[in-house]
A and B are shown apart, each in its own frame.
Chain A
């Protein structure tokens, strides 16, 4: 693989309290790819996402995005460091919680990145009423929120807010889209509908996507590649190519091939949870601690 867009090499991350979140993790994502990270809860999926975003610094190892070291080990994850990456790569980010600003309309919320990210920022005063508003409205229409631009966040349901949150993550046409359990709080029907919407948005804009999820069907429906992680300390156990042709449909997600893939992923994760002989050394201090406290 030549020149991956995202490259994590031998990354280890230990939180302040001593919790080892990631151990010797390697991950390569080419430009325009759609990768899902799955794994048991607390395995460090979100940690990887934050490392790529530059919101966390690795304890050791390197994180490179667009041929640029995000945060070198040993330097602080300062706003400046993140700003440095953002100056080079446009990033969109969405969480499980849509975090809309309640004093703005939905349209104004979606337009926030245009107010902050260059080159849009310099034209903000001139274009916020015209071009940028149209751009936000067009995206809102694409996710099924046509006509909701003037509503306030509290007037919308959770699913609608999450659609708006997707729009906000995509309005500045990011090269890199980071999604952390974006549909985790939604009901099954809304979730499946949003899978299709996200797929079509990805197919038109073609950003590189890193999706963190614990929903295996979601990962199999959306991603080109699925990285399965072990329980803490997280490591990538296996990467699976997802062979299904796009655009994928809901019918396809009930095909035997799809079910087999999901089942295999599920088995891999159950296996990861059971203790393996010859544990990595970093679990030993934890065991000692338990003995002391017992």
Chain B
């Protein structure tokens, strides 16, 4: 073996696996002669992506916009509700069954209701992605807040700290890793919610493009939409993971104190 450092080698292998996957797909399609109505070749999908990009781009922007709006709303509500529930044992016990009940409703089921209330369009998609991203945030923030070490709380109470002092100086920072862990989940879910609502009741967005293309048996186009969704999903995940590392580096137990920005 040549002397590549482990990280470079790992990245090289990952890239090889990724490219290898598409090459295999291409070859398998060519060898079996499967119709592009069933499974288009990656080269056909790439061709559609390239030639139809001017058409696809506004829909891509629409989907990102819807996802981020719903995500932002959902996270804001989730943080507030999580703080209320997590700051008192009583609120936690009272609200928990309700939360579990709500979060176990399949979110597909709420799309028709939103359509009835707000009509087809962007609003149901934003609301779906909002609703879907609230719960992981609520649960994680509440858990994070409820997990303050009792001994530390004693140390502060003996100093005369008020509830607000403890919340601000200890409980909230301690809950941050939980919050960021939930953001990674919530962003992926928000994305799912958006596409779901777009396929059911929208006139714009990648989900809408895919449902129309599949109606026209334009399968390469459907797959092109899928590729765009995959790329966007990865990008959103990476962005929130990056934010998480920046904000809660102290929770990752690294040996350098470099990227810690909290004070």
Assess whether A250 is interfacial by the CB under 8 Å rule. Answer: no
List of B residues within 8 angstroms of A82 by Cβ:
157-158, 160
Assess whether A151 is interfacial by the CB under 8 Å rule. Answer: yes
Residues A99 and B152 in contact, CB atoms below 8 Å apart: yes
Assess whether A249 is interfacial by the CB under 8 Å rule. Answer: no
Residues B158 and A53 in contact, CB atoms below 8 Å apart: yes
Residues A117 and B253 in contact, CB atoms below 8 Å apart: no
Assess whether A135 is interfacial by the CB under 8 Å rule. Answer: no
Interface residues of A in 95-118 (CB under 8 A from B): 95, 97, 99, 101-103, 105, 108, 112-113, 115-118
Assess whether B165 is interfacial by the CB under 8 Å rule. Answer: yes
Q: Using an 8 Å CB-CB cutoff, how does the interface string of B133-166 with A read, 1 for contact, 0 for none?
A: 0000000000000000101101111111111010
A105 to B157, CA, bound (A): 21
In whole Å, how far is A3's beta carbon from the nearest beta carbon of chain B? 23
Which of A18-26, A85-93, A199-207, A232-240 lies at the interface? A85-93
Assess whether A283 is interfacial by the CB under 8 Å rule. Answer: no
Assess whether A155 is interfacial by the CB under 8 Å rule. Answer: yes
Assess whether A268 is interfacial by the CB under 8 Å rule. Answer: no
Residues A95 and B159 in contact, CB atoms below 8 Å apart: no
A82 to B155, CA, bound (A): 11
List of A residues within 8 angstroms of B251 by Cβ:
102-103
Residues A93 and B155 in contact, CB atoms below 8 Å apart: yes
> A112 and B158 in contact (CB under 8 A), knowing A95-B151, A152-B250, A152-B260?
no
Residues A151 and B151 in contact, CB atoms below 8 Å apart: no
> A103 and B159 in contact (CB under 8 A), knowing A93-B154, A152-B257, A155-B257?
no
Chain B: CB-nearest residue to A88: B160
Assess whether A15 is interfacial by the CB under 8 Å rule. Answer: no
Interface residues of B in 159-177 (CB under 8 A from A): 159-163, 165, 169-170, 173-174, 176
A168 to B19, CA, bound (A): 56
Chain B: CB-nearest residue to A165: B155
> A55 and B154 in contact (CB under 8 A), knowing A102-B251, A103-B250, A152-B250?
yes
List of A residues within 8 angstroms of B163 by Cβ:
79
Please classify how large the interface on chain B is, using the bins under 10, 10 to 19, 20 to 34, 35 or more. Answer: 20 to 34
Give the residue among B155, B158, B169, B170 with the most A Cβ atoms within 10 A. Answer: B158
A103 to B259, CA, bound (A): 12
Residues A116 and B250 in contact, CB atoms below 8 Å apart: no
A205 to B41, CA, bound (A): 79
Residues A91 and B253 in contact, CB atoms below 8 Å apart: no
List of A residues within 8 angstroms of B174 by Cβ:
101
Residues A55 and B158 in contact, CB atoms below 8 Å apart: yes
List of A residues within 8 angstroms of B152 by Cβ:
99, 101
Residues B162 and A79 in contact, CB atoms below 8 Å apart: yes
Interface residues of A in 133-164 (CB under 8 A from B): 150-152, 154-155
Residues A103 and B169 in contact, CB atoms below 8 Å apart: no
Assess whether A58 is interfacial by the CB under 8 Å rule. Answer: no
List of A residues within 8 angstroms of B176 by Cβ:
103
Residues B151 and A97 in contact, CB atoms below 8 Å apart: yes
Assess whether A228 is interfacial by the CB under 8 Å rule. Answer: no
List of B residues within 8 angstroms of A93 by Cβ:
154-155, 158-159
Assess whether A83 is interfacial by the CB under 8 Å rule. Answer: yes
B160 is contacted by which of A83, A152, A168 (Cβ under 8 Å)? A83
Residues A101 and B162 in contact, CB atoms below 8 Å apart: no
A112 to B250, CA, bound (A): 18
List of B residues within 8 angstroms of A55 by Cβ:
154, 157-158
A115 to B253, CA, bound (A): 26
Residues B155 and A95 in contact, CB atoms below 8 Å apart: yes
In whole Å, how far is B215's beta carbon from the nearest beta carbon of chain A? 52
Assess whether B262 is interfacial by the CB under 8 Å rule. Answer: yes
Residues B160 and A103 in contact, CB atoms below 8 Å apart: no
Assess whether A54 is interfacial by the CB under 8 Å rule. Answer: yes
A116 is contacted by which of B151, B161, B260 (Cβ under 8 Å)? B161
A169 to B156, CA, bound (A): 10
List of B residues within 8 angstroms of A50 by Cβ:
154
Residues B173 and A116 in contact, CB atoms below 8 Å apart: no
User: Knowing that A79-B162, A103-B251, A172-B159 are A-B contacts, what are 13 other residue pairs whose CB atoms are under 8 Å apart, sorted by A's residue number?
Assistant: A53-B158, A54-B158, A86-B159, A87-B160, A91-B158, A95-B154, A102-B251, A103-B248, A112-B159, A117-B159, A118-B160, A155-B255, A155-B257
B residues lining the A interface (CB < 8 Å):
149, 151-152, 154-163, 165, 169-170, 173-174, 176, 248, 250-251, 253, 255, 257, 260, 262-263
- List 30 interface pairs A-B (beta carbons < 8 Å), by A numbering: A53-B154, A53-B158, A79-B162, A82-B160, A86-B158, A86-B159, A91-B158, A93-B155, A93-B158, A94-B155, A95-B155, A97-B151, A99-B149, A99-B152, A101-B152, A101-B169, A102-B251, A103-B176, A103-B260, A112-B159, A113-B159, A116-B161, A116-B165, A117-B159, A150-B257, A152-B257, A152-B260, A154-B253, A168-B155, A172-B159
A residues lining the B interface (CB < 8 Å):
50, 53-55, 79, 82-83, 85-87, 91-95, 97, 99, 101-103, 105, 108, 112-113, 115-118, 150-152, 154-155, 168-169, 172, 178
